[in-house]
């Protein structure tokens, strides 16, 4: 026996197809193109700070995509955690490690073709898995929000607690590592002038002071 929600979903799916997209679907496609372009600039630019800022655009575009899919809770989590925390943590890491602000030739490893091959293979596998898993799923974008806070929060904190905790430990380890590297660089810079031999100019200045 079909439930009313299943009947509504079937009716919505039969009302239009790919050749007659709605306004929400067109907006979803346009935002997806902008997000994809920002992601490409993020991984291709040689300026680390610009890469972090383009990452903000990418993650913000994903949040808009979640809103268009009526997953409001996931959209705001995307903004609060990823845009508001992960990117800020990345910028702090750049500052603590004294990364160059301008163009950095070290940001390009020279393995672009290998990285492109891995990226295309990973994207193809991800698209295949998602399409195969949700082939018969239809989301009524004009109906009520399906990603409610109660249902999504219960699923996250019951089934996905361990991955979230592992991610928090990973981010904490990255921040501690950045602080250790920064303090070690400062210690090396402070120890070098003290152990360096005195130059003739330095000796003359010391004699003048005496």
CA-CA-CA-CA dihedral for 201, 203, 204, 205, to nearest 10: 90
Enter the DSSP assignment of 98.
Answer: T
DSSP-derived 3-state class of residue 199: coil
Determine which helix (DSSP H) or strand (DSSP E) holds 189, and give its type and residue range.
Answer: helix 161-195
CATH of domain 22-107+145-194: 1.20.120.1200
Contact between 54 and 41 under an 8 Å Cβ cutoff? The reply is yes
Residue-wise pLDDT tens digits, 87-139: 887 887 777 777 666 666 666 667 778 888 998 999 899 989 988 887 777 76
Give the per-residue pLDDT at 18: 53
pLDDT bracket for residue 206 (50, 70, 90): very low
**More reliable by pLDDT, 179 or 59:** 59
Q: How far is CA 124 from its chain centroid? A: 19
Mean pLDDT confidence for 186-194: 65
Contact between 9 and 140 under an 8 Å Cβ cutoff? The reply is yes
Q: How far is CA 82 from CA 40, 147, 176, in A?
A: 18, 19, 19
pTM as predicted: 0.58
pLDDT bracket for residue 164 (50, 70, 90): confident
**More reliable by pLDDT, 89 or 191:** 89
Written as one string, the DSSP assignment of 113-166 is: HHHHHHHHHHHHHHHHHHHHHTTT----TTSS-SS-HHHHHHHHHHHSHHHHHH
pLDDT bracket for residue 61 (50, 70, 90): very high
Q: What token pair was written down for 141?
A: 């974008």
Asked if the model's pLDDT at residue 158 lies above 70, the reply is yes
Asked if the model's pLDDT at residue 205 lies above 50, the reply is no
Residue-wise pLDDT tens digits, 17-41: 555 678 888 898 999 999 999 999 9
**More reliable by pLDDT, 176 or 99:** 176
pLDDT bracket for residue 57 (50, 70, 90): very high
Give the per-residue pLDDT at 143: 59
Distance CA 52, CA 149 (A): 29
Domain range annotation of the chain: 22-107+145-194
Enter the DSSP assignment of 196.
Answer: S
Q: Report the chain's C-alpha Rg in angstroms.
A: 26
**More reliable by pLDDT, 90 or 59:** 59
Q: What share of the chain is helix, strand, coil (3-state, %, to 5)?
A: 75, 0, 25
Asked if the model's pLDDT at residue 175 lies above 50, the reply is yes
CA-CA-CA-CA dihedral for 140, 144, 150, 152, to nearest 10: 20
Cα-based angle 145, 147, 148 (whole degrees, multiple of 5): 80
Ramachandran sector of residue 198 (left: φ over 0; alpha: ψ -120 to 50; beta: rest): beta
């Amino acid at each position: 026996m079909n439930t009313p929600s299943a009947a509504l979903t079937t009716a919505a799916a039969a009302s239009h197809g790919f050749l007659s997209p709605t306004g929400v679907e067109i907006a979803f496609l346009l935002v997806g193109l902008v997000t994809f372009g920002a992601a490409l600039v993020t991984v291709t630019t040689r300026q680390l700070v610009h890469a972090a800022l383009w990452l903000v655009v990418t993650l913000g575009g994903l949040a808009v995509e979640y809103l268009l899919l009526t997953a409001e809770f996931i959209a705001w989590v995307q903004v609060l955690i990823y845009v508001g925390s992960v990117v800020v943590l990345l910028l702090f890491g750049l500052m603590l490690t004294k990364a160059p602000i301008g163009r950095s030739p070290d940001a390009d490893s020279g393995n672009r073709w290998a990285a492109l091959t891995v990226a295309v293979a990973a994207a193809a596998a991800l698209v295949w898995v998602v399409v195969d898993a949700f082939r018969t799923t239809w989301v009524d974008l004009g109906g009520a929000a399906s990603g409610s806070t109660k249902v999504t929060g219960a699923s996250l904190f019951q089934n996905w607690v361990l991955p979230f905790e592992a991610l928090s430990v990973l981010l904490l380890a990255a921040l501690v590592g950045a602080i250790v590297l920064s303090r070690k660089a400062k210690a090396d810079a402070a120890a070098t002038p003290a152990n360096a031999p005195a130059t003739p100019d330095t000796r003359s200045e010391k004699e003048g002071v005496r």
